[in-house]
Structure 1
Amino acid sequence: MVEPHFEYTQVLYAHRQQSNLLVMEVHLKRFGSSSKPITIQLESSFKSQSDDIDFQNAPDYKGGRHIFGQTISSEIPGGIRPFVHLIWTPVASTLTLPPDQSQSSWVFLVALAGSDESAKSCFDTGLGLIDTGDLRPSHMRSWAELWKGSSIEVVGAETLNRALIGCMFYLLSSFPSPSEEFAFGGVSPGGLSNGSIDEDYHGHVFWDQDTWMYPSVALFYPSLARAVLEYRVGTLEGARANAQQMGYKGLKFAWESAVTGHDVCPEDIYAQQEIHINGDVVLAFQQYFYLTQDLEMFKEGRGSEVVWGVADYWVSRVTWDPSDQQYHIKGVIPPDEYYFTVDNSVFTNAVAQSSLQFAVELCGLLAQTAPPKWQDIADKIKIPFDPERKYHPEFDGFSWGYSVKQADAVLLGYPLALPMTPEVRRNDLQVYEAVTDPFGPAMTWGMFALGWLELGESEKAQKLLQKCFRNIQTPFQVWSESADGSGCVNFLTGMGGFLQAVLFGYTGFRVQKEHLAFAPLIPQDVDALSVKGVTYLGNKMDWLVTSAEVSVEVWKSGSKEPSALELVLNTGTTIPLIPGQSVTFLRQPGQIRKLNSGFSCWPV
């Protein structure tokens, strides 16, 4: 066997700290005593042209090629057409390691921005980091800081652990740095659009962002959660126009959203009927408030306009049925997209009820008077239920045994927290597990697993969670949308569902109005669960869960003074959480809430 006389390494990354920079590094290293030059060839498929942007050449900038252009079309007639500027280091066709050198490196940059000034500034920053030798080190420091502030890992199940780390990495890669001033454009199911028409959802933003990706990120990083909310606030005018075009009041958030908030879905039926997106958006605002109690987001941040605008939409969208004395929502597509133009989708109606209730609550917090209709509809909206079989049909006319595309009615338990008995929760899981398409979207089985964990059946939950591993493609833990490898590449929605199944399933975390509930339960093949950086009311918490015990430690984060917290177990024991001091107790349910000095404390 002939030993190689050199090593070639190519490193590609989007800079964590400088979000407008893409980097390619090429490294050559000589082995042995050979004194011959080593030359490698590079091939680039990059072309300075686009089907979507009318690019023009600009003068070279500091050795970099520069093109710029406007998008060819706008989202709406006469709407904005953003500019794109691209400056990049030309890639040489060959690279040579001279005979007198043992190793050498080359760095190629791409700076991408919306203006000439910004693109040049980003390129300058990259060149400066190269000169100081700090390009990749600064990138790695930023990631290290991010990992320090948030992590979820398990002991004793390496395959699961790799999957969790991969999910966190890809989700965080799709968000700006927590400290970065960045015009956030939302997250698409596949992240940055990959490919041409009809591939990877065009880079558009769906309910996937708010329902599937957001909850885990929000639990660690309120600033990133707020960025999601601010994106939705930025599309208010488009949402208002969507509602008006369909003859309704208030706001109708786009099923497929981009820059303006006008619906850019290529098929009208989805834009018109997948209206549960409105409730999904409000649920994200509600979760953020319960985690932070940040009322400023709802005042100066215009979050109240979102919540109240959606409530007004529901008022205009429901119809009163005198025969059953309930409000109905007719002609919708539920999350289960196998069915069109159905009446009273149980998820749609339940998420509408939830958003109306939060709208009323927010009025009280902001000293406003809620229209009586909001509470009336919340109280009287139809939530389909079969009293004989004791389960929730997906919609009016749904028959036992119908096939199902993805998680739908099972989402009533989590994240909607619709009140129901354990028997009904169990029936919902059993009914829909039996008829769910085994090749449906990747996020589905995590929600079934989470439901069984709620019911205390960790081993059944683990079997369902195992189904998710069929969607993970080695060696980089990239998720495919479907188990057969088809669909969206790097499916962030599936990662978000899987991450929630463990993060909210194994811990039992539930973000509620006045506390963060927990009910830890881990399966037999997991020795321990470590969750670091959980953020609640300005505090950071580290959790360690084993089969027998739970440890919680609070530590300060940031300059703002956090709320003092206490831990209340369901047995009645109350323990103050003091920063820097770890509290350990036998595994059992309880809650974290603001410290209440009226309670006594007992040692555990």
Structure 2
Amino acid sequence: MKRIFEVQPWNVSTHEFKPEDKRLQESMTSLGNGYMGMRGFFDEDYSGDSLPGIYIGGVWYPDKTRVGWWKNGYPKYFGKVINAVNFIKMNFMINGSKLDLANDEFTDFDLDLNLKNGVLVRSFVVTKGAAKVQFNFERFLSVAQKELSVQKVDIKNLSDAEVKIEVISALDSNVKNEDANYDEHFWEVRHIDEDSLVAETKANDFGTPRFTSGMQAGYVTSLEKTDENVGDTETSITFSGKLNKDEVATIEKRVIVVTSRDYDSQDELISAMNDLSAKISSQSYDELLTAHENIWAERWEQSDVKIEGDTEAQQGMRFNLFGLFTTYYGDDARLNIGPKGFTGEKYGGATYWDTEAFAVPVYLGITKPEVTRNLLMYRYKQLDGAYINAQEQGLKGALFPMVTFNGIECHNEWEITFEEIHRNGDIAFAIYNYTRYTGDKSYVLNEGSKVLTEISRFWADRVHFSKRNNQYMIHGVTGPDEYENNVDNNWNTNYLAQWTLKYTLEILKEVSADQAKALNVSDEEKAKWQDIIDKMYLPYDKDLDIFVQHDGFLDKDLEPVSAIPKDQLPINQHWSWDKILRSPYIKQGDVLQVMYDFIDEFTPEQKKHNFDFYEPMTVHESSLSAAIHSVMAADLHYEKKAVEFYERTARLDLDNYNNDTVDGLHITSMTGGWIAMVQGFAGMRVHNDTLSYKPFLPKKWDSYSFRQVFRGRVIEVSVDKQGSHFELISGDPLDILVDGKPTTLDSLQTN
């Protein structure tokens, strides 16, 4: 665990600059507005170790993955988000010498990310020869105007003599991804002049789209424009001035960013870029900032979680919600939530099953239902790609991808790509989760019924019947625990397959006659699905009274994680893959993941026996693991463990628990703090259309409170040492259960 920022309720701040931690700083101070985002790298060039990165939602490239041992059915490429044109680039000359904090002498360093308003601030005082100059930087990506990036730099001369300042502001397409094959550059310039640049992704071999991206910069400055330089890959403007002692120069850089995702031609794109630039040119910095801050205030008003008595827990919660909001707020149904969001290149920026299993529950609770519905529509609109994925395996129905931008599988690890098929069940569960939480059946009875039907057709073809056992089985899979590959009868996968078939049959009874006709599910198909439901093999050990993770798991040398020497943890950074696969150690919840999903469907004894057996062997080396275990522990009244797992999920990146935050933040696991709090400590459930709570207050906290959106209401839940309190902020009265007792929520209720 490494902590490089101060613990504050609303800020991520430090007064130290350590070059060895720069990538961590960049990850943790990332910005985004759902449309685009960037790591917290410096505006100016930095010659030391750094991972500059700017990413635009939905803009990606198919990376080459073909290898000599290619097999039929392998994905043809690995899709990846690409580093966009560097539009924030600003270099500074002090008396003709270039600013570079990797080499310069500087003091009074401050770096602060304000979670309340999404503004990144940096300042320092640099000494170059006789010159002593103070720099103050501000940066934000507007949530009021999604195409807008704003930078403001104040430069103050602290030396006795006059200082010459030059600012060279650029739009630079000469960028690449650090993890790209063959050291590739992805952008080809199509238009360039002194203040704008339009670039197109280079051609690819896979028929995937080429994207065009345009940037136009405008400036407000007290300095004089002294030079322009239009090159092949970069355009720049130089501003210059002389500062007397204590004199301040200011430069604002406003960049409009547009892409071919929204415009059909380059001419349309350039015209839109010009119109947007003209629109914001008439507004002051304060006006642009205020519009941005007002929307952030609205978001926090609805979703803030307050924790008294534990500032570390409070900071972790808000940092995670900030990370989610900067990545996705449901404004564009074409987009989804990448595991790293806009904060790094790892995982390719694509969509994983994390969205349905972890993001959907949170967005249901903190945003309007349309946000989650857009996530469901994202999958529906990619059904054509899911058909192709199934056909590649010679199977019927739809196999939704493990990793994708367009519905086509684009991940190159076989054991993940076409064995981790539980994601089909997770997508079905998300439809069910949305429906039971919102009470809105319009999706499940229309688009959702199509998704469920095609997933069910896949499951019915993917299972096989064991005559010897008179049961249906699923061989050759990988469950959520990726430390077990190519196993037979993963309990999680088998359970979800059985449940999906059952749920689909229930929904088919409710769809309209026209929809039933369109789905064309025959009586023969329904009978086959019911037979699979009745005869699905679910591994179980009677002596231990546990669901067995997969065939053969109990034959391993079963030892707890406590048996591993501390200097060999995390095992994924110390052990060979072969050793990991042969071990009993679990990356994340597998059996427990399904028990969390259907937490009311299992007895207290079942939950206890399975948690007590599996958790001691779980290394939690997936960022998704801690939240699930926190909820399960809370349900079992294991308060110490519940709090321990909450702290791990809430501060996973802030404390760099898994020693991998340098690659970017774990955006989809930033849902974990809210899940652990609301479903764990507050015991929130929706069962049989009734909202219920079983709250408790961790001993180390004084209180906590949160607001929750539910079926047209906004509810505020507060828990302190005196008990729990429920207030209906807006909407019609609602009957709820608190500790099993019915109460009508029409104002403030105290228990």
What TM-score range do you get, normalising by the shorter chain? 0.7 to 0.9
Identify which range, 186-195 or 279-288, moves more after superposition. Answer: 186-195
Q: Percent identical across equivalent pairs?
A: 23
Distance 1:382 1:530 in 2: 43
RMSD: 3.0
Q: In 2, are the aligned partners of 1:20 and 1:113 still within 8 Å (CA)?
A: no
Residues 161 and 148 of structure 1: CA distance in aligned 2, closer, same or farther (over 3 Å): same
DSSP 3-state at the match of 2:749: strand
Q: CA deviation at 1:92?
A: 4.5
Instruction: Confirm whether residue 454 of structure 1 aligns to residue 635 of structure 2.
Output: yes
Q: 1:549 — aligned with what?
A: 723
Distance 2:255 2:735 in 1: 49
Equivalent residue for 1:410, pick from 592, 596, 621:
592
Q: How does 1:455-604 map to 2 (within 5 A)?
A: 455-468=636-649, 471-473=652-654, 483-485=658-660, 488-532=663-707, 534-556=708-730, 564-569=733-738, 572-575=741-744, 577-578=745-746, 581-584=747-750, 586=751
Residues 30 and 505 of structure 1: CA distance in aligned 2, closer, same or farther (over 3 Å): farther
Distance 1:65 1:411 in 2: 49
Q: In 1, are the aligned partners of 2:195 and 2:237 still within 8 Å (CA)?
A: no
Stretches of structure 2 that go unaligned for 5 or more consecutive residues are 1-105, 109-124, 126-131, 177-183, 218-234, 560-583
Instruction: Confirm whether residue 47 of structure 1 aligns to residue 173 of structure 2.
Output: yes
Stretches of structure 1 that go unaligned for 5 or more consecutive residues are 475-479, 557-561, 587-604
Distance 2:327 2:532 in 1: 37
Q: 2:118 — aligned with what?
A: none
Q: 2:293 — aligned with what?
A: 140
Instruction: Confirm whether residue 351 of structure 1 aligns to residue 501 of structure 2.
Output: no
Residues 386 and 93 of structure 1: CA distance in aligned 2, closer, same or farther (over 3 Å): farther
Residues 339 and 2 of structure 1: CA distance in aligned 2, closer, same or farther (over 3 Å): closer
Q: 1:152 — aligned with what?
A: 305
Q: How does 1:86-485 map to 2 (within 5 A)?
A: 86-89=214-217, 92=237, 96=241, 99=244, 102=248, 104-114=250-260, 115=263, 116=266, 117-118=268-269, 120-122=271-273, 124-133=275-284, 134-176=287-329, 180=331, 182-192=332-342, 194-195=344-345, 200-221=346-367, 222-259=369-406, 261-299=407-445, 302-367=447-512, 371-399=526-554, 400-401=558-559, 402-417=584-599, 419-437=601-619, 440-468=621-649, 471-473=652-654, 483-485=658-660
Using the size of structure 1 for normalisation, the TM-score is 0.84
Q: 2:31 — aligned with what?
A: none
Q: CA deviation at 1:201?
A: 0.8
Using the size of structure 2 for normalisation, the TM-score is 0.68
Instruction: Confirm whether residue 57 of structure 1 aligns to residue 57 of structure 2.
Output: no
Q: CA deviation at 1:209?
A: 1.7
Q: CA deviation at 1:315?
A: 1.2
Residues 223 and 183 of structure 1: CA distance in aligned 2, closer, same or farther (over 3 Å): closer
**Greater fraction of residues in strand:** 2
| Partner deviation per Cα, 1:345-399 (whole Å, 9 max, x = no partner) | 1111222233223222322332467724334433432222211011222111112
Distance 1:287 1:2 in 2: 52
Distance 1:253 1:55 in 2: 33
Q: 1:592 — aligned with what?
A: none
| Partner deviation per Cα, 1:582-603 (whole Å, 9 max, x = no partner) | 222x2xxxxxxxxxxxxxxxxx
Distance 1:410 1:434 in 2: 12
Distance 1:330 1:214 in 2: 29
Identify which range, 423-432 or 101-110, moves more after superposition. Answer: 101-110
Q: 1:9 — aligned with what?
A: 136
Distance 2:632 2:416 in 1: 28
Q: CA deviation at 1:96?
A: 4.1
Distance 2:166 2:309 in 1: 43
Identify which range, 455-464 or 565-574, moves more after superposition. Answer: 565-574
Distance 2:107 2:646 in 1: 46
Q: In 2, are the aligned partners of 1:12 and 1:24 still within 8 Å (CA)?
A: yes
Question: Moved runs in structure 1, 4+ residues, more than 6 A?
Answer: 1-5
Q: CA deviation at 1:238?
A: 0.2
Q: In 2, are the aligned partners of 1:86 and 1:111 still within 8 Å (CA)?
A: yes
Q: In 1, are the aligned partners of 2:547 and 2:591 still within 8 Å (CA)?
A: yes
Greater length-normalized contact order (CA 8 Å, ≥ 6 residues apart): 2
